[in-house]
Amino acid sequence: MNEKTAEAWSTIDRGLELLMSQNDELSDRELRAKTRRLKHLQKFLGALVQRVNERIREHTKPGAIDDLFKQYRTEREEIDAN
């Protein structure tokens, strides 16, 4: 694992730790909002896993994830608006 990848994983780990801290202090409304965002993140991560598995299994290069990430952000903004 290169340095930038290790740093990215460290950032993700820290972000998840911060996201999940102090859950007991959140209202039900805040917890429901968090659940919606986490489910959306789960969907996005599933798509990323699928791309990695394609790469391994089919020896293809699926290319940039720009469109996938834009879709993720757009959908998340919709979730946040509700």
Question: What is the average per-residue pLDDT within 49-67?
Answer: 87
- In sequence order, which ranges of 21-65 are alpha helices (DSSP H)? 28-58
Is a pLDDT exceeding 90 seen at residue 60?
Answer: no
Sketch the domain layout of the chain as residue ranges: 26-81
pTM given for the model: 0.82
> pLDDT tens across 8-51, in order?
999 999 999 999 999 999 999 999 999 999 999 999 999 999 99
User: What is residue 61's predicted lDDT score, i.e. its pLDDT?
Assistant: 82
End-to-end CA distance of the chain: 39
User: What is residue 59's predicted lDDT score, i.e. its pLDDT?
Assistant: 83
Closest CA to 40 of 9, 71, 8: 71
Question: What is the average per-residue pLDDT within 71-79?
Answer: 94
User: What is residue 62's predicted lDDT score, i.e. its pLDDT?
Assistant: 79
Is a pLDDT exceeding 90 seen at residue 76?
Answer: yes
